[in-house]
Amino acid sequence: MKDLWFFLKLFKPHRIWLAGGIILSLLTAFAAIGLLTLSGWFISSSALAGTAIAFNFMLPAAQIRALAISRTLGRYGERLLTHEATFRVLASIRSWFFQALIPLVPGRLAAMRSGDLLSRMTSDIDALDALYLRLLAPALVAALGVLAVIVFLYGYSPIISLMTGGMLLMASVATPWIFNRLGSSGAGAIVTLTASFRVRQIDIIQGLADLLANQAYTRFSHGLGQISDLMIATQRHNNRLTAISSALTLLLAQFSLLSALLLGSLAFQNELLSGADLALVVFCVLAAFELVMPLPQAMQMLAKTLKAAGRIRQVAAMTPTVRQPKQALALPNRFDLQLFDVSFRYSDHQDQVLKNINLNIPQGTKLAIIGASGSGKTTLLQLIMRYYDPGHGEISLAGQNLTQFNSDELLSCFGVLSQRSQLFAATIKQNLLIAKPNATTAELDNAITAAGLETFIGYLPEGIETWVGESGLKVSGGEARRIALARLYLKNAPVLLLDEPTEGLDPETEQEIFRALADFAVAKTLIMVTHRESGLSLVDAVYNMDSGNLTEIVS
């Protein structure tokens, strides 16, 4: 329950909307109960009065119309307010969650499967809508409404009031508790199964070409089908419990109605209730169970909500791989980099990825680090950008330990071009402005020209406003790399980090990229990691990385 209490605290900025929804729900419930209660009394009184002129037909008729209109408008307003409050709360939770994720990039999140993270960001947060809409609001309305009904009935018949109160308590407390216990495992399993299904589904979509090529699609899709079947079976079990809980609540309502009728009849015989009052009491008892009907199903969803809240907080509670200094230093004017006896491993259970690295990189140096995939080259770049801190040793910028700088500000010193530069589902211009949001038209044009994009953009009907599609799907690999290169030019950082910058490109495009980089990097520090020899003409020194050990290659 601690997880739910944590999220309830996030509701505070929207308390006016939340309170408004609950108040309107309560008033609507009272209007519904009052409508049925007054209608029963009015029909009975009219029948008993017959043609008696003394009976006032107009006032109760007007009250019934007013209650009917209030119930209709209240129901619409209640839906409007409660859903608006829910959407606002979910938006706040999503914003909070993204803020919590930012310090975890890439260190902690790199260890998570993308499908599982996506499930937490979407399905699990969506599951929290039940916290207010199906748990908090109905429970408060039921509590206040039941208390009001008991007090109201007590004025007519204490014994009927106590009997109805007991039945309402059974329907609102005992029945939900029982079915919460019976359905908690299934509701929690649905969250886990949904996450597993999404992970497997995304894995299949992302690797569809390879699965088809290796004739493994049938086997993987069979595994996805098994998870789906298990989800359906679990949901079917929960639906049965929901149906039984609703039937039990209806049974309690009918038993209360019969009991109220019998007790009211005895009171009528003893002249403790009039005929019209007997109808009023019976109809009030019948209407009161509207208050508690949603509760058993809501309590069944409690386990699902708890599980989802726990999964979200599990990620948000992760500690970042780097800690920000309390008093961050201002960025220096020079960008000399030094690595002193740097060693690093991703976890205590893994071997050292980097071993006692010593490297001096004065400003303007151009060097390459070559080596096989998995030798530690990319990890070294990530340490320089302070995605991680070394387990041993020190990395300094202009003589100051990187840990003394704010990591977000530190990233402004580095321009990165990798083999998988991300293009977003936006226009070419919007993708470029990621590097410099306030770039002028002249700066954009210069970056496009320098990256060799001018001819390509000139052929496009919409020019720089052309939509590149999801992950740059509508442009070729070479043009996507040029867009990333133009973004590098636009940022114009003093230190360039190139991680396999031409991987997957044809030789002609590769040489064009390297020629453009050679002109751009004249006055900058350049560090390139690669497992190929192409592009080494850009650099003055070459180092070899082998199983975490770095040695200079002397030509």
**CATH number of the domain encompassing residue 245:** 1.20.1560.10
Same domain, 278 and 393: no
Could you say which of 281, 316, 351 is where a domain stops?
Answer: 316
Same domain, 188 and 303: yes
Distance CA 135, CA 138 (A): 6
Residue 327 inside a domain? The answer is no
Same domain, 97 and 244: yes
Residue 491 inside a domain? The answer is yes
For the cut 70, the answer to whether the pLDDT of residue 504 exceeds it is no
More confident call, 3 vs 14: 14
For the cut 60, the answer to whether the pLDDT of residue 110 exceeds it is yes
How many CB atoms are located within 10 Å of the residue 402 CB? 19
Phi, psi dihedral angles at 475 (to 5 degrees): -120, 155
pTM assigned to the model = 0.76
For the cut 80, the answer to whether the pLDDT of residue 1 exceeds it is no
Of residues 396, 407, 131, 170, the one with CA closest to residue 289: 170
pLDDT at position 318 is 83
Same domain, 155 and 27: yes
Same domain, 103 and 187: yes
- Report residue 519's pLDDT band, with 50, 70 and 90 as the boundaries: confident
Residue 322 inside a domain? The answer is no
Domain with 525 in it? 337-553
* Both structure tokens of 369: 């680090």
Helix (H, G, I), strand (E, B) or coil at 329: strand
- Report residue 251's pLDDT band, with 50, 70 and 90 as the boundaries: very high
Same domain, 381 and 235: no
Residue 331 inside a domain? The answer is no
Same domain, 293 and 350: no
Could you say which of 257, 285, 316 is where a domain stops?
Answer: 316
> Are 414 and 440 contacting, i.e. CB atoms less than 8 angstroms apart?
no
pLDDT at position 536 is 82
How much of the chain, in percent, has pLDDT values that exceed 70?
98
Same domain, 368 and 287: no
Same domain, 165 and 267: yes
Residue 484 inside a domain? The answer is yes
Residue 308 inside a domain? The answer is yes
The DSSP symbol for 241 reads H
pLDDT at position 54 is 59
pLDDT (tens digit, 9 = 90+) per residue, 357-382? 999 999 988 898 888 888 888 889 88
* Both structure tokens of 481: 């790399």
pLDDT at position 340 is 92
> Are 432 and 488 contacting, i.e. CB atoms less than 8 angstroms apart?
no
- Domains contained in the chain, number: 2
Q: What is the mean pLDDT of the chain?
A: 85
Distance CA 188, CA 128 (A): 13
Helix (H, G, I), strand (E, B) or coil at 66: helix
Same domain, 46 and 154: yes
Same domain, 136 and 193: yes
- C-alpha 95 chain-centroid distance: 8
Of residues 527, 483, 488, 544, the one with CA closest to residue 509: 483
Residue 348 inside a domain? The answer is yes
Same domain, 276 and 367: no
**Residue 440 belongs to domain with CATH number:** 3.40.50.300
Residue 226 inside a domain? The answer is yes
More confident call, 534 vs 449: 449
